[in-house]
Amino acid sequence: MPKRFLIISIVIVAIITATITAYYMYRPNAARVLKFRQWINNPASHPDWKLPAGTQCGSAPFLFPTDGFVGFLWGDPMGRLHRHQGIDIFAGTDVGITRVIAAYPGYLTRLPEWKSAVIVRVPSDPLEPNRQIWLYYTHMADRYGNSFISDEFPPGTSEQHIDAGIFLGYQGNYSGDPSNPVGVHLHFSIVEDDGMGQFKNETEIHNTYDPSPYLGLPVNGYENHSEVPLCDEDE
């Protein structure tokens, strides 16, 4: 009788532990979702949450690439077994209004089938000069796939040199499914090179870098659970 009780107890504790672990690992971040809803419902009520395009925090190398509130961070849980591989910046405007600019110089490619995205090769990572990285910008189209990307970068553009701060396009809500658009935002991520001069699959977080040190902003969702990312005033 005591032995059986012990085994049952161990099994129950194991199940409870696994459930709690899964809950904390894979639930959407409640504090973040609440702030996101407050912003989307009334952006004008929280002007202090917004960063202007071109902001450079302290000695960080990148420019903030658009106007808006960083609603979702790198590493935020985004549903079952998926963590967000970039940051989402919400303008609080309609589509096709809020400018997106280049965070850093590099060589821009837009694959022939890309309606809403560009990727910029940076041959020398400003924080790790011996490696190449890629900067990915997406959701720059309306829900139907009408592109808001600058005419300078038509589909099929390859390795076009750009400077920091140049106009790339406008924030949109393209998701690939016209009946289910995303909220109007820019998704920005830093993607690893595959070692053969190509970018890795951007949709997997393990192929991306934490953008925090590049932007000088606390945009690591593993560490920042509730704060609105703003420049550190001490810098």
DSSP state, residue 69 = E
Rounded to whole angstroms, the Cα distance separating 45 from 53 reads 19
Sign of the C-alpha dihedral computed for residues 145, 86, 137 and 119 taken in this order:
negative
Question: CB count, 10 Å around CB of 82?
Answer: 13
Rounded to whole angstroms, the Cα distance separating 124 from 130 reads 6
Radius of gyration of the chain (CA): 20
Q: How far is the CB of 23 from Zn ion (least distance, A)?
A: 23
Q: Looking at beta carbons only, is 83 or 121 nearer to Zn ion?
A: 83
Provide the binding-site residues for Zn ion, judged by CB under 5 A.
86, 88, 187
- Tokens encoding 50: 């917004």
Q: How far is the CB of 174 from Zn ion (least distance, A)?
A: 12
Q: How far is the CB of 188 from Zn ion (least distance, A)?
A: 8
Q: Looking at beta carbons only, is 17 or 203 nearer to Zn ion?
A: 203
Q: Looking at beta carbons only, is 161 or 225 nearer to Zn ion?
A: 225
Q: How far is the CB of 52 from Zn ion (least distance, A)?
A: 20
Q: Looking at beta carbons only, is 99 or 187 nearer to Zn ion?
A: 187
Q: How far is the CB of 86 from Zn ion (least distance, A)?
A: 5
72 SS3 class? strand
**Residue at shortest CB range from Zn ion:** 187
Rounded to whole angstroms, the Cα distance separating 230 from 235 reads 12
